[in-house]
C-alpha cells in the first residue's frame, strides 16, 4: 500500500459493491456521484484517484491544478471526456476498461442489425398508432448475407463470431491484422474499398482518432452496394452524417442503425428521425453486466496502481501488469535514482540522455524504465508537475535528445542499466544494478568500478591515487560534523587516478565543498543533493 492513505473520488454513479478492491486496500472512497464542475475542481487536488463514466468532463482547466491526483479511471472504453494531453502534461495516468463492455457492444450491434433488417421499430410504432400493416415493413433475412466488419479488435471479433452463428459470410478490414490471423477467425480479410463495395451490411468498430475522422466520407459511403445497411456502435465522427442522410433519402442505402453520433445528444434531427434510421442513445455498454464489469475492473486497476504501481489499460502510458510491476519496481527506482544522480553531476541545462539496458533488464518494459529515468533526470530542474507519464514530453519541450537501446548481455552482470547524460560539465555515465532483489548499486562511474549506494546526499571526488586522500576528505567532513553513511573507492593504478564516493547524513554547503577541494591531490569535487536520490 502507498505510504499515505489513498483517497479516491467517485464522480459518476457506480454501485458501491463494485468498489470493494479500493476499500480492501484501505482507501478512503469519496462517493460524489453527480458532482458539479465547481465542486469537482475544489475537491480534485485533494485526491489520488478519480473515477468517471461518460458524464464527467475532465478538462484542461480542471487539470491545471491536479494537486496530488495521480490516476484517472474511466469505467468504460471511450475517453473522449478526458483531455488526454492535459492529463499527460499534469503527470496523471489515464486508464480505461476496454474489455468490460465487449459483449454488450457486440450484442447491441447484432440487435441493431436485426432492427434495421426487419424494420422492427417502425412496425412497433405503427402498431401503437392503431394500424395493422405488413407490406410497408417487409424486411430482409440475415442468413447468407455478407457482413463487412471495419476493425477486428475485441468488439469486431465478437460481432464476427455472432454473425457466423447467423450463417452470414463475414469479411473484414483491419490494417493491423494479417490474413492468417483473420482466417483463424473465419473472416476473409479485404481492403476498405472491397468491404464497402461487396457487403450487404457494414458495421464500424474502429476507434475515433484524427486518422479515422470521417473515415466513411461521402465518396466511400457512395461506394457501398445499393440497398446495403450501415451500423455504428463505435464512436461518432467516424461516419459523415450529412452524407449518410443524403444516401438514406435517395434510397441508395436501405437503412442504418446508429448508437453513437458526432454530437451527443445528436443535433441532426433529420438523420435521427429518418424512417430508414434506427437510432439509440449510446447504449452499447448499457447492460447491467457490462456496467458492473467495468466498474469492478476500474476499481481493481486503480487499487493495483496505488498499491504496487501496476499500470493496466493506460491510454497515455505503457501498461504493466501486477507480477511484472513487482519485478519492475526496484529497477524503476534504480533508473530514477541513476537519472537524478547523473543529471546533478552533469549540470543544467541538459543536452542529451541515453539509456541502455543490458541482459535480463531487457525483459522489462523498456519504455517505462526510460520514463522513470527521465523523471529522475528532470524533476530537480523542471518547474511544474513532472512525472514518469509526462517526462518524455518535458524532455522534448526542452530540446533534450533522448535515446534508448538494449544490449543482449554485459560482460560482468546478468542485468545492468546504464544512464549517460550530457550537460555543461561534460558527459556523465553511470552503470547500476541490483544486489539481491532490491538493493540499488552504482557499479561504475567516471570510468571506475565501484560499489556505491545511490541514496541521500552524495559527493563524488576525482583524485590522484596517492596515500592520505581519504584521510583528508574524511577529516574535512568530520571537522564539519558531517557523518559518513557509506563510502566507495574506485582506482586505476595504471593511470594513477582514483574516485571516492561518499554517502552523507546531511546536505553540504559551498564552504565544505571548497574545503574538500583544497588539496593538490584533488582533481575535482561534484555534489549530488539528497532530493535527487529520493524515490
Write out the catalytic residue numbers: 235, 264, 282
SS3 534: coil
Count Cβ neighbours within 10 Å for each residue of 62-99 and write b for 16 or more, e otherwise. bbeebeebbbbbbbbbbbebbbeebbbbbbbbbbbbbe
CB 127 within 8 A of CB 152: no
CB 351 within 8 A of CB 343: no
Using CA atoms, how far residue 520 sits from 432, 472, 475, 493, 500, in Å, is 31, 11, 15, 18, 15
CB 533 within 8 A of CB 455: yes
- Rounded Cα–Cα distance for residues 169 and 483 (Å): 78
**Which residue has 593511470 as its cell numbers?**
495
| Residue whose C-alpha is closest to residue 281's, from 262, 269, 263, 264 | 264
- Rounded Cα–Cα distance for residues 155 and 144 (Å): 22
User: In angstroms, how far is CA 157 from the centroid of its own chain?
Assistant: 24
Q: Which residues of 85-137 form beta strands (DSSP E)?
A: 93-95
What is the enclosing helix (H) or strand (E) of 42?
A: helix 37-43
Amino acid at each position: 500500500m502507498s505510504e499515505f492513505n489513498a483517497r479516491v473520488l467517485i464522480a459518476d454513479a457506480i454501485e458501491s459493491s463494485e468498489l470493494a478492491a479500493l476499500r480492501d486496500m484501505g482507501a478512503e472512497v469519496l462517493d460524489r456521484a453527480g458532482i458539479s464542475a465547481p465542486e469537482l475542481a475544489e475537491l480534485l487536488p485533494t485526491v489520488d484517484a478519480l473515477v468517471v463514466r461518460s458524464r464527467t468532463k475532465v478538462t484542461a482547466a480542471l487539470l491545471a491544478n491536479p494537486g496530488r491526483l495521480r490516476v484517472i479511471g474511466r469505467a468504460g472504453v471511450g475517453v473522449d471526456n478526458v483531455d488526454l494531453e492535459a492529463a499527460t502534461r499534469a503527470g496523471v495516468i489515464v486508464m480505461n476498461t476496454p474489455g468490460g463492455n465487449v459483449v454488450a457492444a457486440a450484442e447491441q450491434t447484432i440487435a441493431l442489425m436485426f432492427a434495421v433488417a426487419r424494420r422492427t421499430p417502425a412496425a412497433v410504432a405503427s402498431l401503437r398508432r392503431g394500424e395493422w400493416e405488413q407490406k410497408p415493413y417487409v424486411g430482409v433475412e440475415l442468413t447468407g448475407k455478407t457482413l463487412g466488419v471495419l476493425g477486428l479488435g475485441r468488439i469486431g471479433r465478437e460481432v464476427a463470431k455472432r454473425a457466423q452463428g447467423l450463417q452470414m459470410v463475414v469479411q473484414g478490414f483491419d490494417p493491423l491484422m494479417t490474413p492468417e490471423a483473420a482466417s483463424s477467425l473465419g473472416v476473409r480479410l479485404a481492403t476498405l474499398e472491397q468491404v464497402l463495395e461487396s457487403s450487404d451490411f457494414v458495421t464500424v468498430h474502429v476507434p475515433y482518432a484524427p486518422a479515422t475522422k470521417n473515415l466513411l466520407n461521402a465518396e466511400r459511403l457512395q461506394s457501398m452496394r445499393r440497398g446495403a445497411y450501415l451500423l455504428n456502435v463505435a464512436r461518432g465522427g467516424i461516419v459523415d452524417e450529412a452524407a449518410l442522410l443524403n444516401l438514406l433519402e435517395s434510397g441508395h442505402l436501405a437503412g442504418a442503425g446508429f448508437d453513437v453520433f458526432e454530437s451527443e445528444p445528436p443535433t441532426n434531427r433529420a438523420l435521427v428521425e429518418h424512417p430508414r434510421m434506427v437510432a439509440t442513445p449510446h447504449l452499447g455498454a448499457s447492460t447491467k453486466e457490462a456496467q458492473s464489469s467495468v466498474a469492478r475492473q476500474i476499481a481493481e486497476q486503480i487499487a493495483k496502481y496505488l498499491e504496487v504501481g501496476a499500470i493496466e489499460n493506460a491510454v497515455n502510458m505503457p501498461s504493466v501488469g501486477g507480477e511484472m510491476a513487482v519485478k519492475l519496481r526496484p529497477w524503476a527506482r534504480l533508473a530514477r535514482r541513476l537519472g537524478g544522480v547523473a543529471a546533478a553531476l552533469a549540470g543544467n541545462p541538459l543536452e542529451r540522455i541515453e539509456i541502455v539496458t543490458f541482459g535480463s533488464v531487457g525483459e522489462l518494459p523498456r519504455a517505462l524504465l526510460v520514463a522513470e529515468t527521465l523523471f529522475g533526470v528532470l524533476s530537480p530542474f523542471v518547474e511544474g508537475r513532472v512525472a514518469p507519464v509526462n517526462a518524455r514530453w518535458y524532455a522534448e519541450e526542452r530540446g533534450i535528445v533522448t535515446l534508448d537501446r538494449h544490449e543482449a548481455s554485459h560482460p560482468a552482470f546478468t542485468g545492468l542499466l546504464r544512464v549517460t547524460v550530457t550537460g555543461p560539465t561534460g558527459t556523465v555515465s553511470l552503470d547500476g544494478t541490483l544486489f539481491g532483489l532490491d538493493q540499488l548499486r552504482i557499479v561504475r562511474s567516471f570510468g571506475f568500478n565501484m560499489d556505491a549506494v545511490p541514496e541521500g546526499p552524495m559527493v563524488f571526488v576525482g583524485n590522484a591515487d596517492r596515500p592520505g586522500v581519504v584521510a583528508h576528505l574524511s577529516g574535512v567532513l568530520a571537522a564539519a560534523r558531517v557523518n559518513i553513511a557509506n563510502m566507495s573507492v574506485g582506482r586505476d593504478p595504471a593511470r594513477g587516478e582514483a574516485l571516492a564516493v561518499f554517502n552523507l547524513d546531511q546536505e553540504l554547503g559551498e564552504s565544505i565543498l571548497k574545503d574538500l577541494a583544497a588539496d593538490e591531490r584533488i582533481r575535482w569535487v561534484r555534489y549530488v543533493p539528497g532530493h535527487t536520490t529520493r524515490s
